[in-house]
Amino acid sequence: MADFKNPSARWASATTFCGGVGGLSVVIGEQIKPLFESNSDVFQYLLLAENITAFVSDYLTPYSFIFFGLSYSEIVPRKYIRMLRYFLFIPVIGMIMFYPVYPTFVVPYSLATFWVVPYILTGIILLIWSYIMEKNPFTKRSRFYTCLAFIPTMIYAVTTSYFLRIMDIEEGWRYNYWIALFLFVVSITSLFRFGLVGVRLRVQRQSLNYSIQQLTAETSVMNHGMKNDLGLIKLYGEKIKNYAMTTNQVNLQSDIDIILQMHEKMQNTMMRIQQQTKDQKLYIGEYRVVDMVERCLYQSKAKLKDSGIKVMNSMKCDLTICCDRLLIEEVINNIVSNAIEAMPTGGELTIDIAKNRKNVILIIKDTGIGIPKEHFTRILEPFFSTKSNPKENFGLGLLFCYNVVRKHGGKIDFYTNEGVGTTVYLAFPRIKENR
């Protein structure tokens, strides 16, 4: 439900559903069915339900799991996965043809092991491979907890449900509730804290989106009201200044100049706040990421030199994204500016570009002071700033970056270590030509 369009999320849900159906089969067979032994019609329906749920658990769980591994690892292109869905379903069809679910459902465990175990092992290998190959630490952490949730569960389940039964140990599967509990705890914890199967349930993120909408609306109203008041201040201020000049009142003219300067400062402040909070209209085109980064570095050349910061340009991939160039360059400028302020005594600014099957990832890393843990969860809050000059920094820069990247269908992540530095990851959808 949280990410229905994500195929790996759907296959992961299918895997857990099919596995859980096995428990339902046991409940029907051992708890519900005996209550209706005197009613043959209801008893037969319950028997059929018991057999169908057992079939789903025994055969569709490994089938779902291998496709979860294929989708999640992104090793195999989607068009081939669609073809494999039919090919890999052949053993399931064979099972139902030779071992029907009614009136008696029998699982030939020795025979089924020849395709069930390879399906599960392949899924496990694909999950491990996706974790090893992942470079983004945020995604890598999410993949770790996905592996932690599914791999022990599938190994335990295939051991108790197949291998032990082949060894004539029939009741081992009854201990599966322990591994089911483990899966549940890891899944729920990971969904809220780290992410699982590419899905992360965060009330803070939903609240942030709402705050952006509310802030945009309120800023527009405030700007409209203050614009009229500032206009009147300027109008009457200039009239008084002209009067002071014609009457040769030097002191009054000097005072009015201060008022007009403050008017201009207030107007510029309002313009900056509105620029960073307004709902930006996108003018999309195709632009090389390297070109945008190099323009931003050139604009910051003097600041970088004065601060003694060495730029480590590791951009080797020539990648193109669909974006509003001016807005994305403003985002990059914002992040580079924050990095410069975080390294007042010098350091290294490393910029790199990476890619995966879905995204182009721009990585901006500094060796600055980092962000304190108590402040890290608040860096996207409107008007929150850790900078020493709050009069010039409204705490809207990163909020602006988040809003722009989100409108491009991308993601922005931060990785910080106090005293070591901060890394910002900007992920943008790849265009078709790059796939």
Q: Is the pLDDT of residue 289 over 70?
A: yes
If DSSP codes are grouped into helix, strand and coil, which group holds residue 320?
strand
pLDDT in tens, 393-435: 444 567 778 888 888 888 888 887 878 888 888 989 888 654 3
The per-residue pLDDT for 224 is 53
**pLDDT for 331-386, tens place per residue?**
898 899 889 988 988 899 999 988 877 788 899 999 988 877 766 566 666 554 55
Distance (Å, whole) CA 96 – CA 59: 10
Give the DSSP letter string of 248-301.
T-HHHHHHHHHHHHHHHHHHHHHHHHHHHHS-PPP--EEEEHHHHHHHHHHHTH
- In tens, the pLDDT along 272-284 reads 655 555 556 778 8
Average pLDDT over every residue of 223-229:
63
Do 50 and 28 touch, CB atoms closer than 8 A? yes
H runs (alpha helix) in 194-249: 203-246
Cα dihedral sign, 185-191-193-196: positive
For residue 165, pLDDT over 60 is answered with yes
Q: Phi first, then psi: give them for residue 311, nearest 5 degrees.
A: -95, 125
